[in-house]
Structure 1
């Protein structure tokens, strides 16, 4: 499954707001842990190893 990097969120502003709300009132360690759990949940949902490797590479390259 190729990685879709085109805009694909049906409600991007609402998602961004929910993401910010997820971090509200968390200290740095809890915020990092929440991010890690979210990444693992989404990676599990995607499931395809090659797609995940492509995402990892693109994420690391980004400025």
Structure 2
């Protein structure tokens, strides 16, 4: 069984990545940003392609919803 990698994977670039993520949505309204995030999620899920890893990610995201 493949395991979801929870080890930080951005090295020294974590802050830069976060800034890029925010900047990519900066000119979008709330609904547009939600749509953009949904499309990005589907693109990245397709790239990952491992349904077990994706199930683990879904569960983790759901646990941290509150």
Q: TM-score, normalised by structure 1?
A: 0.92
Instruction: List runs of 5+ in structure 1 lacking aligned partners.
Output: none
Instruction: List runs of 5+ in structure 2 lacking aligned partners.
Output: none
Tell me what 1:60 maps to. Answer: 62
Q: Which runs of 4+ in 1 moved over 4 A?
A: none
Question: Number of residues paired by the alignment?
Answer: 63
Q: Cα RMSD (Å) of the superposition?
A: 0.9
Paired residues for 1:39-58 under 5 Å: 39-58=41-60
